[in-house]
A and B are shown apart, each in its own frame.
Chain A
């Protein structure tokens, strides 16, 4: 038993899970009814469901980001892609069929991701710089699509994606679970997962081993773009409007944060999809907690900053080593 426990604490997912659990318990102290879930007209309501529901866009984007970071890349354009896909869906829906709008919005995400992948893999531009282009241009394009206004839409099917309920649970949760399972399938049951890890670990070695990094990189960025587009549809459906300026603002930073908290290293290599999901849930719980305590919501940013630094310090080898050395010195002197 003790062995298993020790093994569990060594796992990467242990720290994020502990932090998440800690925050949930903290919430219980603040609000005794935090864990209550009630059923109203066959729908489940409660803080937990709410956190889950609200975190879905971030979860989906973070999953895409995990793959990109696993190959030692980064995609800072996801927020802009999110805005573009939402704007596209809204603009097409004004005159056309909703299904067409959904498909085109997804295709736009794929094209954006493909563009990023092309720059990174074929032109071999640094990932951060390559995606910087779309980050700058993306919001401009989204503005162009919406004509500078906030487009509103009233389509029952579309708003169902963002606010509907299925078997008692909010619909976005199903989308999130679906995306997560698909990625797990890609990672565990196809060669892509293995190839991706090997590229992230050592590009040269995997090239010699016969893997074609360019194709994998292209695929990974395309998946990341697709994830951003899915999140864009959910976000715009949730509020029934497409806001080119503010939709998904800074979500790229939250996503990177979620990935790092989840235990995936920024230097590539092994990646942890489960950890990422926990990280995203943790960020959402943090925000919800701060809102429910009732202090200034702007403090969320300060807390986030401190949490990031703390988590990164704990992951840093040299920080842990310096701590270990401190203990040793004390022992030797006394």
Chain B
């Protein structure tokens, strides 16, 4: 029970810190700029960052297993390109949506297969996936394609009213739904438990008889699906397909996960975290926009500074937890595990 307690406390620290951060930043904005404190400004955070919330949530699963997915940004661009091209050729809009989601699942699954089956480093595989996705979208077309399809335009301009006078877009609703589903999956399904187990310690998960390979493949599949869904949301947000969309967005997604308290060592994290991370980044962006004189690269510097603070915070929590584990194991009079087995050692 004690272990569970510690884990809970660790997670609460991050969620709490991020929430307080958002409130502080938002409060600062409200006091400094007129018109900042309105329901619509807050809802716009969701509308403008819906695709990032979706992608970051998918990424969170991958990071919890101890991997990483660098292909997401490029893949969102590829999806926007594919949808724009197919729509231009006169395909049915709904068929295009289903098709792109399918491509996402297959693409992610293939990456997961390479990583789990041949024990390749996720960095390298997803890096190659990133090159592949960007390259393919340039092969399709090097220019930006504007989408004129009626269904897409309708989805793009649809406003869903919310109590209190504001409205959100379809994309924001999809994002919120996905976050809820992700929280459910992580907490109440076998797959979710497996993800945490694999991230905590691959070797012990394997010894427990958990399907490590299948979990890895499924996680990358889910990330691929989220990228495709994010791609769809992004496409209806921008209404254009372009191979240069969202350069370096994968780093934003990783940053959102870190700020949201997903430990990059794997095994820990609460699935609402990525959304909070995205929101805090969005608030910074909005403040800089309202401020007017600061240039946009200050966003990057501010986000980098936040990253630094949260990474150090993560580090402190991990050190604290390790100390408690040591005490805990002393009480039980067992030797603490000093060196975890690496995959290399297990193979030989």
Chain A residues with a Cβ under 8 A of chain B: 74, 119, 123-126, 128-130, 132-137, 139-141, 143-144, 148, 204, 253, 256-257, 260, 266-267, 296, 298-306, 308-309, 312-313, 316-319
Supposing A300-B135, A301-B134 touch, asked if A140 and B129 sit within 8 A by C-beta, the answer is no
Q: What is the CA–CA distance of A150 and B56 in the complex, to the nearest angstrom? A: 33
30 contacts across the A-B interface (CB closer than 8 A)? A125-B311, A125-B315, A130-B311, A132-B254, A133-B304, A133-B311, A134-B304, A136-B251, A136-B303, A137-B300, A137-B305, A143-B295, A144-B301, A204-B338, A204-B339, A253-B127, A256-B123, A266-B121, A267-B344, A296-B138, A298-B142, A299-B138, A301-B132, A302-B135, A304-B128, A305-B129, A305-B130, A305-B135, A317-B119, A318-B117
B162 within 8 A of A: no
Considering the complex, give the chain B residue whose CB is closest to the CB of A298.
B138
Other CB < 8 Å A-B pairs besides A298-B142, A309-B125, A318-B117, 4 of them?
A74-B123, A126-B265, A140-B301, A309-B128
Question: Hey, what's the 0/1 contact readout for B103-128 against A, CB within 8 Å counting as 1?
Answer: 00000000000100111110111011
Cα–Cα distance between A232 and B49 once the two chains are bound (Å): 34
* Separation of A300 and B117 alpha carbons in the complex (Å): 27
User: Would A129 and B311 count as touching, CB distance under 8 A?
Assistant: yes
- State A267–B114 Cα separation when bound (angstroms): 17
Please tell me if the beta carbons of A143 and B136 are within 8 angstroms of each other in the complex: no
Chain A residue at minimal CB-CB distance from B348: A317
The answer to whether B117 and A136 touch across the interface, beta carbons within 8 angstroms, is: no
- Whether A136 and B297, one on each chain, are in contact in the complex, defined by CB atoms closer than 8 angstroms, is no
Q: Which residues of B contact A304 (CB under 8 A)?
A: 128, 131, 135
Of all chain A residues, the one with the shortest Cβ separation from B258 is A129
Residues of A within 8 A of B130 (CB): 253, 305
B121-158 interface bits toward A, Cβ cutoff 8 Å, 1 = contact, 0 = none: 10111011111101110110010000000000000000
Indicate if the CB atoms of A136 and B304 lie closer than 8 Å. yes
Would A317 and B120 be within 8 Å (CB), given that A298-B138, A300-B135, A301-B134 are in contact? no
Given known contacts A133-B307, A136-B303, is B135 in contact with A298 (CB within 8 Å)?
yes
Chain A residue contacts of B300, Cβ below 8 A:
136-137, 139-140
Given A129-B264, A132-B254, also A312-B125 (CB < 8 A): yes
Which of B's residues lie within 8 Å of A, judged by CB? 68, 114, 117-121, 123-125, 127-132, 134-136, 138-139, 142, 243, 251, 254-255, 258, 264-265, 295, 297-301, 303-305, 307-308, 311-312, 315, 338-339, 342, 344, 347
> Which residues of B have CB within 8 Å of A144?
297, 301
Contacts of B303 in A (CB 8 A): 136
The answer on a CB contact under 8 Å between B118 and A302 is no
CB contacts (< 8 Å) of B344 on chain A: these are 267
Tell me the complex Cα distance, A313–B128, Å. 12
Judge whether B131 and A139 touch: CB under 8 Å: no
What residue of chain B has the Cβ atom nearest to residue A202's Cβ? Answer: B339
Q: What's the nearest-Cβ distance from chain A to residue B321, in Å?
A: 14
- Contacting pair A316 B120 (CB below 8 A): yes
Contact, CB under 8 Å: B339 / A306 = no
Given contacts A123-B312, A301-B134, A309-B128, contact A140 B142 (CB under 8 A): no
Across the interface, which residues of A come within 8 angstroms of B128, CB to CB? 304-306, 308-309, 312
The docked-state distance in angstroms from the alpha carbon of A126 to that of B314 is: 11
Q: How far is the CA of A17 from the CA of B300 in the complex (A)?
A: 40
User: What's the least CB distance linking B66 to chain A, in Å?
Assistant: 11
User: Chain A contacts of B119 at CB under 8 A?
Assistant: 316-318
Distance of A303 Cα from B139 Cα, bound (Å): 12
> Which residues in A have their C-beta under 8 angstroms from that of B125?
309, 312
Chain A contacts for B123, CB-based, 8 A: 74, 128, 256, 266
Contact A316 B311 (CB under 8 A): no
